[in-house]
Amino acid sequence: MKISCVWEHNGQDSMLFAERFPGAFTRGPSKAEAVRKMPAEIKSYLRWRGGPVPDAFEVEIVQEKSSALTVSDADSDVLFDSERQALSPPEYAELKALALKSARDFLTLFEAIPDPNRSCRPARETFYGPVPRTALEMYEHTKNVNGYYFGEIGVPADNEGTLLTCRERGFAALESKPDFLNDPVVLGSYEEEWSLRKVLRRFVWHDRIHARAMYRMAVRTFGTQAVPNVFLFDL
């Protein structure tokens, strides 16, 4: 299988996004390292999504974005060239279902953590503030992008309730807009370009970043048997 990837980088720090697998990504201190990790990411992603898993993979870079952001901390603003296109109703239904599955599975993982306020991870600061350490901090951070992501494409949304319920309400608000599938690319906060396709991909990507971090933290804190591998990560 050929994996078409978008490469975002800041100097040597690299992030690869699998263009046809929304939310699948790898990071590394170099492009070569991010490329090396991609087959394992796609295998776990396909098992999670419920698709067949090929035996062999070939990574192909189809778009490059040089970024001023801290890519090593998973900061990203890239808009894929393919995300400039309007969505068909079947495409939207599939991507919406994936974003809701991701939210549902993230919530399942969070609710299974024996103590959401306990963590073995040391405190760490970035330019943007403290990195979430506990399951509760990771969950709240992940949930609280709901209003931001929907808001970037002009959809009023909030962060109230669970990760799943606030995302469902955001989709309902989106779908109340006439001709929402044909909305153009818009310039949002911080001069970042957004589209509906990008929002749908970003939800799964952001969930995946913090679900992986939560699962790793929980395994180290509580042990493998105490935490379900809901996203089927290869760690």
What are 83-105's pLDDT values in tens digits? 999 999 999 999 999 999 999 99
Residue 46, domain member (yes or no): yes
Residue-wise pLDDT for 32-89, tens only, equals 999 999 999 999 999 999 989 999 999 999 999 999 999 988 899 999 999 999 999 9
- Number of domains into which the chain is organized: 2
101 shares a domain with 56 = no
114: domain CATH number?
1.20.120.450
pLDDT at 139 over 80: yes
144 shares a domain with 118 = yes
Residue 153, domain member (yes or no): yes
Separation CA 178–CA 229 (nearest Å): 39
Query: The pTM is what?
Result: 0.95
The residues with which 28 forms a beta bridge, in sequence order, are 14
**Confidence category of residue 12, pLDDT binned at 50, 70, 90:** confident
161 shares a domain with 73 = no
89 shares a domain with 73 = no
207 shares a domain with 96 = yes
- As given in the structure block, the two tokens for residue 221 are 């804190």
- As given in the structure block, the two tokens for residue 219 are 């395994």
Residue-wise pLDDT for 199-231, tens only, equals 999 999 999 999 999 999 999 999 999 999 999
96 shares a domain with 209 = yes
- Distance from the Cα of residue 69 to its chain's centroid: 17
**Confidence category of residue 127, pLDDT binned at 50, 70, 90:** low
- As given in the structure block, the two tokens for residue 171 are 């989709």
- Distance from the Cα of residue 73 to its chain's centroid: 13
Q: Are the C-beta atoms of residues 73 and 83 closer than 8 Å to each other?
A: no
90 shares a domain with 194 = yes
Separation CA 111–CA 129 (nearest Å): 25
145 shares a domain with 74 = no
Residues 6+ apart with CB under 8 A from 197: 80, 82, 83, 84, 85, 87, 95
Domain that holds residue 62: 2-78
Q: Are the C-beta atoms of residues 199 and 186 closer than 8 Å to each other?
A: no
204 shares a domain with 123 = yes
